Amino acid sequence: MAKQVRKQRLERARPRHYVFEWRKYRGLTQDQLAERIDRSRGLISQFESGETELTEEMVYALAEAFRHTPGDVFRVNPLKEGTVVDITDALFDEPEDVKAKALGYVQGLVSGRRA
């Protein structure tokens, strides 16, 4: 009788995005987020665990649900980067000229001169 070889479950790598963190930051359950993007709770769970990779369509849908840019889903952990998230939140619905003025002011502060 041949030995049966057990398939060992490979340890999953940490997802390269912050879907879980954004969901927590926004105070959403998996069900609520799933409803916002018209998908299942199970799919949200799969994204968060890294079982399923994000498609471009999902990145845009999640970004809209989180009220942030698609890039922020990958590069900003809102649970650690509160100040950046707060500034972005405040400017989200503002016209482009207001965003540009705010950016100019922040750049001036960072460089040591007032804009």
Residue-range domain boundaries for the chain: 13-77, 81-115
Q: What is the topology classification, in CATH, of domain 13-77?
A: 434 Repressor (Amino-terminal Domain) (1.10.260)
Residue 41 confidence class, pLDDT cut points 50, 70, 90: very high
Given a cut of 80, whether residue 25 has pLDDT beyond it is yes
Q: What is the pLDDT of residue 88?
A: 77
- Written as six digits, the tokens of 20 are 């879980």
Q: What is the pLDDT of residue 36?
A: 97
CA–CA separation, 27 and 22 (whole Å): 9
Q: What is the pLDDT of residue 61?
A: 97
pLDDT tens-digit readout, 56-88: 999 999 999 999 999 999 988 888 866 677 777
Q: What is the pTM of this model?
A: 0.68
CA–CA separation, 83 and 59 (whole Å): 23
